[in-house]
Amino acid sequence: MLQTTAESPLPQADAADPLELSLVVPVFNEEESVGPLIERICSAMTGFTKPWELILVDDGSTDATLANARRSLTREGLILRIVELQRNFGQTAAMQAGIDAANGRLIATMDGDLQNDPKDIPSMVGELERRQLDLLVGWRKNRQDGLLLRKIPSWCANYLIGRITGVKLHDYGCSLKIYRASIIKQVKLMGEMHRFIPAWVAGVVPSSRIGEVPVTHHARQHGTSKYGISRTFRVILDLLSVMFFMRYKARPGHFFGSLGLGLGALAAIILFWLFIDKFIFGDDIGSRPLLMVGVVLLLSSVQMITTGILAEMIARIYYRDDLSPNYIVRKIFDREHQDT
């Protein structure tokens, strides 16, 4: 039995048999889709002449997704590994688990609900190499989703993300992407940040090394969508986090310190005026609300500056010691370990 925990890394393939491509697919309660998905992937990759592997990450499914996927472990000509997570950690953590397990020089990711078309993968690999990119993002130009609940919020989110991060793409939300493994493995995905992967990659390489290409998109055939209109609010909150991390990840003290100095300057102006008013003009300031405002601003300034110092200390500890993954693997199944 191959098994790993939060403290142990996922096993890697033998360096003597290098893989060109690892296809990572997170799945959660996709019992009806996972079988046809594997069939479509195998059919789409028939003409791909270089070695490749398929990594399915079962994100704590409560239906027959895992059992249906394991039926393909003995399929001839398919290098399949199934990473079973201990519980449902979310799509970002599942994607990170698949990326960590990948052995290919290139890594492709896609959804497991049959809406992405694996036939686009070989051409995207060629396009990435031709344009010498580190990340190629799929653009669902003819998206087969509802207008009000899916398309319009997505358009707004893509515009905001592009404006704030500086990485202008038509479709941040498309899971069909091709990465150079050496680049994406420098990025640690947390929370629900899979939507902002191009922005995180832009922190590792120039944005000119990130491109997009139109891809096919199908309507959902089985099951129900895991996303609703509530995702819009989470995207806004995540976007604020992305903006902070992109600009101040390595220097959070500058962010909090700037706020603290601004509040301190305003407090100094107010208290200086009250000092003049009291000791030069002789006015009573003890009951004036402005005095309370000045004191609160001064205390807030001290709090912000000290928070910035603490944030700097935490950031240094993070960069030095943060090696733990944000998921726990229960088991890994492959051709040699099908029943353990």
DSSP 53-75: EEEEEE-S-SSSHHHHHHTTTT-
pLDDT the model gives residue 308: 84
The answer to whether position 156 is within a domain reads: no
Q: Give CA–CA dist 65/70, Å, rounded.
A: 9
pLDDT the model gives residue 6: 41
Any idea which residue has 């799945």 for tokens? 27
For the chain, how many structural domains are there in total? 2
Q: Which of 69-83, 141-155, 220-234 has the lowest mean pLDDT?
A: 220-234
Instruction: Specify whether 134 is located in the same domain as 254.
Output: no
Residue 260 structural domain:
250-319
Instruction: Specify whether 53 is located in the same domain as 130.
Output: yes
The answer to whether position 261 is within a domain reads: yes
Q: Give CA–CA dist 138/184, Å, rounded.
A: 16
Instruction: Specify whether 177 is located in the same domain as 258.
Output: no
Per-residue confidence band for 274, with pLDDT thresholds at 50, 70 and 90: very high
CA-closest candidate to residue 100, choices 58, 66, 57 = 57
pLDDT per residue over 252-265, tens digit each? 888 888 899 999 99
List the alpha helices (DSSP H) in the chain: 34-44, 65-70, 91-101, 120-130, 152-165, 181-184, 197-201, 231-248, 252-279, 289-321
List the alpha helices (DSSP H) in 24-149: 34-44, 65-70, 91-101, 120-130
Q: Which of 117-126, 222-231, 257-266 has the lowest mean pLDDT?
A: 222-231
Instruction: Specify whether 94 is located in the same domain as 181.
Output: yes
Instruction: Specify whether 265 is located in the same domain as 208.
Output: no
Which tops the pLDDT comparison, 222 or 53? 53
Q: Which of 4-13, 116-125, 167-176 has the lowest mean pLDDT?
A: 4-13
Locate 32 and state its tokens.
């009806």
Instruction: Specify whether 59 is located in the same domain as 190.
Output: yes
Which range of 6-15, 117-126, 168-177, 189-198 scores highest in mean pLDDT? It is 117-126
The answer to whether position 90 is within a domain reads: yes
Locate 136 and state its tokens.
């190629």
The answer to whether position 163 is within a domain reads: no
Name the strands in the sheet holding 329-333, side by side, starting at the edge strand that comes first in the sequence.
210-214, 135-139, 177-180, 104-109, 19-27, 52-58, 80-85, 329-333
Per-residue burial over 237-267, b = 16 or more CB atoms within 10 Å of its CB, e = otherwise: ebbeebbebbebeeebbebbbebbeebbebb
> Residue 320 above 70 pLDDT?
no
Residue type, 293: V
Any idea which residue has 């600009």 for tokens? 247
Instruction: Specify whether 135 is located in the same domain as 272.
Output: no
Instruction: Specify whether 135 is located in the same domain as 209.
Output: yes
Instruction: Specify whether 56 is located in the same domain as 130.
Output: yes
> Residue 5 above 50 pLDDT?
no
Instruction: Specify whether 214 is located in the same domain as 275.
Output: no
Phi/psi at 241 (5° precision)? -65, -45
The answer to whether position 12 is within a domain reads: no
Instruction: Specify whether 198 is located in the same domain as 266.
Output: no
Instruction: Specify whether 130 is located in the same domain as 257.
Output: no
Any idea which residue has 């899916």 for tokens? 150
pLDDT the model gives residue 183: 95
pLDDT the model gives residue 100: 94
Averaged pLDDT score across all residues of the chain: 83
The answer to whether position 305 is within a domain reads: yes
pLDDT the model gives residue 322: 58
